[in-house]
Structure formats: structure tokens, C-alpha cells
Structure 1
Amino acid sequence: MRKWDNATRDDLLTAVECIKHQFAPDAARNLIEYFHERMEDGDYYDVEVLHLLMKHVFALIVAGKSADQAFGLKAIKGQHNRPDTFARDISAAALVVKQRRKGASWEAAVTDAAEHLGLNNRTVERAFEAYREGVECLPDEQLEQITGDQLPPP
């Protein structure tokens, strides 16, 4: 069995989003290893995910970043390693979507998520803006997996 045989499409998409929004060299190396492993063996790999990754990489290279920076292996100058807030932000965005689907207003959904996670409203709003595309299309079951316990009804 190869190292990345159990990687799912969701794992790959999560890694790409992680690379796009924060300095995550482990996620970057894992993606590179996954695609290398599959290409070396002549096996199927998710072309759409590779396209998303390369679109991001090419944009950064065109903007003057090095290949290491574009692939997420090296920090971009001026950006420091921040605490990893990816899981927290995905949860915040998912909580907002859950509350909106239950009929809560935008303000109430943001406030509920902020209180539940111990964050301020602006942090939840930024998290939602960053991950909106990804979480809005998820079915309720996956939102539940991301957020864990239930929020009170709106």
C-alpha cells in the first residue's frame, strides 16, 4: 500500500484551501507527494484538484513569488507563521451555513457561531468570507461532521 492511497478528494481540496489561505508547508508537501506518487505509478489522480492547485501556484509565480513560495513550501516574505486557524475557521463558516439553513438571519447566524466558538463576530465573518464557496455546497451531514455538536435553533 502506498502512502497516499487513502487520500480522499475532500482531503485534497482541504489541503489546497489550506495552502491558499495560510502558510502550511506540511499540506503543500503532502499534496506534492500525492500527485508525484500517482503520476509515477501511472495511476488516476484528481485532475480538477491539480488544476485548482496549479491555478493558485501560477498566479503567485506571475505575481513575482518564487516556486517554493507559490507551492507553499516557503513562507512569503512579510508573512509570518500564524497559529493554525483553519479548522476553527471552517467550523465557523459551517456553523453560519447551518444556522442560515435553519432560517436564522445573517446577523443571528454570525452571532450564534461567534458565541459558540468564543470568537468575535468579525472573525466569524472573515472565516465565512474565506470558506463560503466550500461550505455552502456541503450537505447537512457533512456540515454536522465539521461542526460536531448542534447549535440551539434560531
Structure 2
Amino acid sequence: MRYWLMKSEPDDCSIDDLAAMPQQTVAWHGVRNYQARNFMRDSMRPGDLAFFYHSSCPRPGIAGIAQVASLAYPDASQFDPASRFFDPKSVPEQPRWLNVDVRFERKLELIPLLELRRHAALAKMRLLQPASRLSITPVAPEEWQFILATLARDA
């Protein structure tokens, strides 16, 4: 099993939105970064766990846990001219962009970014590196365990 951190703007999809979805599952669409896409395509597998991270909001931080529920498949939004994620250079025969389905596991009391930064055990966490803007990043098993054992509380 691998561990991930997946960022979502709560105005787009929050942990509460995920919990309210049919079957508590959503397609993680709209990823338009090749490295994040490659993580989904090459490394993510059903059963992997991910911290659900609220980004681009007044209090960014880990808001819950989700499980990867599918292998990567073409992101339909790339083909939809009405979508803000439309990519005119992508064609169904050779899609550029992928998504995975994620399923709600549990909501956590928000663990703010500033709290994550306070802990030496997380100093190498990719989220905390300068200029880290990827929407999907791997989380080392020891970082995952530290956050769950030290910082996480069910909401």
C-alpha cells in the first residue's frame, strides 16, 4: 500500500462533499500537471490511502482520509468544451489527462498546514518543501504514521 496527499479546494470538493457523494466516491478530475498525472497512472492503486487536503482556502490543511477506489482512467472533462478543464489538444484515442476515483474513509479535525510545519518528523514531507504546488504527492509511511499517531483526531 502507498500513501498520498491529494489537494482539493473546498469550494470545488470538500471532505464533507465527498462524504455526501453517492457511494461516498468521486472522480479526482481536473489534474493538469504531468507529474501528478503520472502518480495516478503509474503508482496509485485501489486500496492506497490519501490525506484529503483542503487547499487555496483561509485554513489549508488535512481534513480527512480517502481511499483510492480505481485505477487511473481518462478524465472526461478534457474532452468537454464547456468544462474549465477542457484540453483541445487531447483526443479520446490518446488522452493526456487521467483521474482516479477516491472514496471517503473518515473526516478528521482539520490539521492546519502551520501545525504540520511545526514537527521535525515531517521536515522532508513533499507538501512542506519550498515551491511544492503539486495537487497529488506521495507521503512516506513514517510521515503517514506520525500524522495519524500524533496529530489526527476524528472530527
Give me the TM-score of the superposition, normalised by structure 2. 0.30
Greater RCO structure (CA 8 Å; 6+ sep): 2
Q: TM-score, normalised on structure 1?
A: 0.30
